[in-house]
Every structure is written in structure tokens, then in C-alpha cells.
Amino acid sequence: MLILADENIRKLRWDWAALVDVIEETARIMDAGDFAQPIKPYLRYGDPQNRIIAMPAYVGGSVRTAGIKWIASFPGNRRHGLPRAHGVTVLNDAETGEVRAILAGGMPNALRTAAVSGLLLRRFAEDCRPDGTFRIGIIGWGPIGRTHFAMCTHLFGHRIERFSLYDLAGIDPASVPAEWRSRTRLASGWEEVFDESGILFTCTVSKTRYIRKPPAPGMLLMDVSLRDYWPEAFQEMPAVIVDDWEEVCRENTDIEMLHLTRGLRKEETMTLADAVCRGALRRVPAGKPVLFCPMGMAAFDIAVARYLADLARDAGIGTEI
């Protein structure tokens, strides 16, 4: 059994294009039905804002691995100088159930989250914006926001005109990579980021929704944190993409709020698999905003963890027991 911590994963020679390819291949495997993924349960006790989520899955095809991610989210940790999220991913041999690897730490989760965004953004760039430059905004500069920044620069750097960033706790300019500081503006409020961006990532741990402004025509809203928009922000319903309707239409997400207040139905949405396998984004009318709400698929976590574990074994990195 291989044990990997974040410091081991940082030594691996992974790249963003390969990570996005892993997510795309997994989406195709799932679209073909070669997977198992029960609805993930939420464990809550004490403070209701805290949660620990169990995410089991099996992915067939070229991945052929089972496993589970056990991820805790305790937003109040930041007041004590601790990370919000703590997680571990366990990989099992699909044939025998033998535990083959344990990945402990936050990097696998952050890499999976940003790689899923990268896949949707890659499709959006190819199908909806084949030419021109991007103005990208990120609200929330924690590990997930910074990982999305890195993903964007590595995959789309040649097309990025500028970044706008905002975090309620402030942003240290030194935390922005030096080569991007001339094209990055640190905003004084989320409204500035919203108004300046054609592609907006919300990567917050906000306790309450705060965005009521309608998106500009053709804007891509990457609703990574899932609980940032009031329903009135969507007086005209955007094109809505989800990773899985049953997963995302619950737990007070923006999709659930649109379902309860505006009557949004599953059949009115597209899935990530629709965008990847059937070119659904090409059918979005010009000028219509696009809202992407990914709840997080355990299958993607298992596939990314398998990719990282294979790299580590090939490089002799980590601890074998």
C-alpha cells in the first residue's frame, strides 16, 4: 500500500492538461455507464456549518479503480490558523478490494476541483469562444481559488487578458505569481470582480448568499462554491450545466434554490457529460450566460487519485507499507 501526503504530491511531475484529460476520460466512462457512485452522505454534528462527506465510487474503463474520499469542511478553522478542508482518499483494487493507496491532504481535492472546472472551461473556449481573450475573475483566494488561478494560467495563459481577484480577508500581493502581477488587479469588493469579468469563479466559504446582480450577456459563471447567488440574480435563466442533478439539487445549493423558487427542472439543465460527449455548449444561444454548478463527483476524485498514485509509483515517491 502506497501512502502519499501533500508534500509527496508536490514533487510529482503532473500537469494540468493531463489532469483535465483524466477528468474528460472519466466523464466519458461514466457516460457509457461503466461506474458506480451512490449519493454521498453528509455527516453533521455540533456546529451545523461543519460537515464531513463520504464520497465512494467505482470507475471502470481505463481507470478500473474503486475507492472513497472522506473530506471534512470546517469553515471556522480559518480563525484558528487551520485549513478549512481536511481529507483522505483511499484507493481499492477493483478486483480484490485490496487497499492500494492512501492519499492524505488537501491537494488531491484541490486538483480535482480545478481540473473539473478546467474541462468545462476548455469546452467553453472551444465551442463558444474559439477566438479572443478572457477576463477572468476569482472571488475567494483560499486554496481552491489559488488552484483555479494556477489552472487557468497553465491552460489558457495565452488567452488571458487580465485577472481580477477579491477575498473578504484581503489578498497579499506576494501570493500572486510574479509573472502575472502586471495582469492581475486586486479589487476592493466582489462587485468590481463581477463587473470586470467575462468568466467568474466563485471559490468562497460564504455563510450567506451575496450576489444579486444579473450576469452580463455571454458570461460564464463557474459556481464552484455553490452557494453564492440569490435566485433574483437570474431573472432570465442562464444555460445551466451540472455534474449530476441528484447530487447538486440539495444541501442549499444555488441549483436547489433555483429549483425551489424558480421551478428549475432536471430536464432543463445540461450535464458535464452533455458538454463533453455531445457538444451541448454549441447549442447555447449567443449572448446567453452559462452557469456551471459542480457538486463534486466521487468518480473524478478516484480517477485523479489513481493518476497521482501511478505517477508516484513510477517515480518512487511516497511510502510503501
Mean pLDDT (whole number) for 15-41: 98
How high is the pLDDT of residue 250? 96
How high is the pLDDT of residue 78? 81
How high is the pLDDT of residue 205? 87
How high is the pLDDT of residue 132? 87
Using the predicted structure, report yes or no on whether residue 81 has a pLDDT greater than 90. Answer: no
CA distance 251 to 254: 9
Give the percent of the chain with pLDDT over 90: 93
Instruction: Label residue 83 by pLDDT band (50, 70, 90).
Output: confident
CB atoms within 10 A of CB 185: 16
Cβ neighbours for 154, distance < 8 A, ≥ 6 positions apart: 15, 16, 17
How high is the pLDDT of residue 79? 85
Q: Where are the beta strands (DSSP E) in the chain?
A: 2-5, 35-36, 42-43, 51-59, 65-73, 85-93, 99-104, 134-139, 160-166, 184-186, 199-202, 220-222, 239-242, 270-271, 290-293, 319-320
How high is the pLDDT of residue 75? 86
CA distance 191 to 151: 23
Q: Exposed, middle or buried, 190 (CB in 10 Å: 0-12/13-18/19+)?
A: buried
pTM: 0.96
Beta bridge partners of 69: 55, 89
CA distance 132 to 119: 19
Range from 75-84, 150-159, 307-316 carrying the lowest mean pLDDT: 75-84
**Grid coordinates standing for 306?**
489513481
Using the predicted structure, report yes or no on whether residue 95 has a pLDDT greater than 90. Answer: yes
Domains of the chain with bracketed CATH = 2-109+298-320 (3.30.1780.10), 117-293 (3.40.50.720)
How high is the pLDDT of residue 207? 84
Cβ neighbours for 251, distance < 8 A, ≥ 6 positions apart: 42
Using the predicted structure, report yes or no on whether residue 71 has a pLDDT greater than 90. Answer: yes
How high is the pLDDT of residue 183? 97
